[in-house]
Amino acid sequence: MTSPNPKSVQEYLDETPFWPDGTPVSDVPMAPMQWRIWWLAAAGKFFEGMVVFMTGVAMPLINWEFHLTELQRGMVGAAVLFGILIGASVLGGLADHFGRKLMFIAEMALFTFFLILVALSPSVLWLVIFLFGLGLALGCDYPTAHMIISESIPTNFRGRLVLSAFGFQAVGALAGTAVGFIILKTNVSASDWRWMYAFAIIPALIVLAGRFFIPQSVHWLVEKGRVDEAEKEMLKLLCRNPAYPRKIVLNRKLELQTDESEKVPSLMKLFKKKNRRATILASVPWFLQDLGTYGIGIFTPTILAATIGLAHGSPRNLTDLIYQDMLSAKGAAAIDALLIFGIIAAIYFADRFGRIQLQIAGFIGCAVGLALAAYSTHFDGSMKMILIFSGFMIFNFMTNMGPNAMTYLLAGEVFPTKIRGVGAGFAASFAKMGAVLTAFLFPILLKDIGTQTLLLLLVGASLIGAWVTWVFRIETNGISMEKLGTE
C-alpha cells in the first residue's frame, strides 16, 4: 500500500471525506476532539465574563465590608483587568515557546487557585492582589484559547467557532449578574460577594481536568520542526468513526526551517515593517473598544443607579443596600442580555460580510447607543429610563456584533504562526490598558464630570475606532491559517 501524498496541516483540517461511490461530503465533518477543544476554550471565556461583570454586582457589598474609598473602588474594579493586561502578553506569548496546550492548562490552574483566594480575601489589599492573579490567568487565555481553536479547525468554520466560543464571555456576564442576584435574594450578609466568586470554583476544576486530555497544536509542532510528533497529534485530533484520514503524512518543508540570522525578540518583530499594519489593526481598535465595553459593563449597575434614581442617597442599612443592589442587578441583566444577541449576529455575519465591515459598523452603532444614553440626562421620569436603557442595549448589541467580537477574532488571525501568540497577546494587553483606565477612572470621572460628559467621551472613542479600522484594514475572512500573516 502506497503512502498518501504529503499535505500541510490545514489541508488535512480542511479535507472532506468521500462517500463509497466517490462523491465528496458537502462539508468538513468536525471530529469529537475538535468539539472538545472548542468547549474547553469556550469555558474560559465564560469564566472571564462571569468574574469581570459580576464585580459590578459584588462591588456594593465589597464596599460595605471594607469601607472603600473612591480610589480603592477603582483599584478593585481595575485589578482583574490590569492582570489581563499583564497576563496576555507575558503569559500568552509563552504559548509560542512552550506550546498552546501547556499554557491552556496552566492558565486554568492559575485561575482556579486565585479564585479560591479571592473568596477568602481577608482585606481589600489582598482582594486586589488576588483579583490581579485572576486577571493574569484570564489574560493568558486571550491568545491561547483563540489559537487552540483556530489552529485545530477547518478554515470555513474558523470565524463562527472562534466567535461562538468568545460569545460565552457574554453568557458568563449574564450568568455572573444572575448568580449575584440569586445570592443576594437568598442571603442577607455583607459576605455574600464571597459566595459569588466561590460559585465558579467547582466548574473551573472540571474544566482544568478536561484540558489535560487534548492534543498539542499541530501547527505549532510543525513550526517547531517536530513533524513526527505532529502526525501523531493530528491522528488524535481527527479521530473519527469510521477513521478518516487513516494515515497522516505531513509536508516536511517547514521542518527545522529556522532563520538563525534573525535574532530580533518576538515582541520587536511586531513592529517590523511587514507586521506593523497588523499590529496597529489588532491593537488600537481593541483598546478603543475596551474603553467603553468594560467601563459600561462593570459599572452598569452604578450608572443605572446614578441616572434613573435607583439609589436615593446612601443606603440606611445592609438590607437597604442589598435591595438597591438587586434592583441595579436586574436592570444590568436586562441590558447584558443584548450582549448574547450581539454575538449571535457576529457569528452569523462574520463569514458572510467579513471582519472589517462588521467592526466598522459596530463601532458606529456603539457611538449611536452611547450618544442616546448621554442624551437621556436631559429628561426625567419614564423618558429618561427609556433612553438610557435603549442606548445601553444598542451599545451592548453593536459592540458584540462588531468591535468586541471582531477585535478578538482579528488579533488571532492577522499574525503568522511563529509570532501569533505574542502578537495576539500584545493586542489583548494593549486593549486592556483601555479597560484598566476606564475601570480605575470610571467611578472618579462619574463623580467629577458626570454621566453625560463621560458617555460623550466614549462616543468619540468609538468613532475613532471605526476610522482606524478602515485605514489599517486587513480582511482575513476565508484565508487559511498557514497563509495569514505571510503575504
Does residue 4 sit within a domain?
Answer: no
Domain range spanning residue 87? Answer: 9-15+27-255+268-471
Does residue 476 sit within a domain?
Answer: no
Does residue 333 sit within a domain?
Answer: yes
**Helix (H) / strand (E) containing 44:** helix 32-66
Q: Enumerate residues 6+ apart whose C-beta is below 8 A from 327.
A: 305, 310
Does residue 260 sit within a domain?
Answer: no
Neighbours of 428 (CB within 10 A): 31
Confidence class for position 132, pLDDT limits 50, 70, 90: very high
Pick the residue with more confidence: 221 or 331? 221
Measured CA to CA, the distance from residue 380 to residue 373 in angstroms comes to 13
Does residue 338 sit within a domain?
Answer: yes
Q: Residue 366's pLDDT is what?
A: 92
Amino acid at 217: S
Does residue 477 sit within a domain?
Answer: no
Confidence class for position 281, pLDDT limits 50, 70, 90: very high
Does residue 1 sit within a domain?
Answer: no
Given a cut of 90, whether residue 209 has pLDDT beyond it is yes
**Cβ-contact 115, 134 below 8 angstroms:** yes
Pick the residue with more confidence: 188 or 15? 15
Neighbours of 483 (CB within 10 A): 12
Instruction: Answer whether the bond into residue 32 is a cis peptide, omega within 30°.
Output: no
**Cβ-contact 424, 166 below 8 angstroms:** no
pLDDT digits (tens, 9 = 90+) for 257-272: 444 444 455 678 888 8
Instruction: Answer whether the bond into residue 443 is a cis peptide, omega within 30°.
Output: no
**Cβ-contact 359, 476 below 8 angstroms:** no
Domain count, the chain: 1
Please state the rounded mean pLDDT for residues 347-358.
88
Specify the CATH number for the domain of residue 360: 1.20.1250.20
Measured CA to CA, the distance from residue 464 to residue 368 in angstroms comes to 13
Q: Residue 439's pLDDT is what?
A: 67
Q: Residue 90's pLDDT is what?
A: 83
Given a cut of 60, whether residue 311 has pLDDT beyond it is no
Please state the rounded mean pLDDT for residues 399-416.
89
| Mean pLDDT for all residues in the chain | 81
DSSP 155: G
Does residue 262 sit within a domain?
Answer: no
Q: Enumerate residues 6+ apart whose C-beta is below 8 A from 1.
A: none
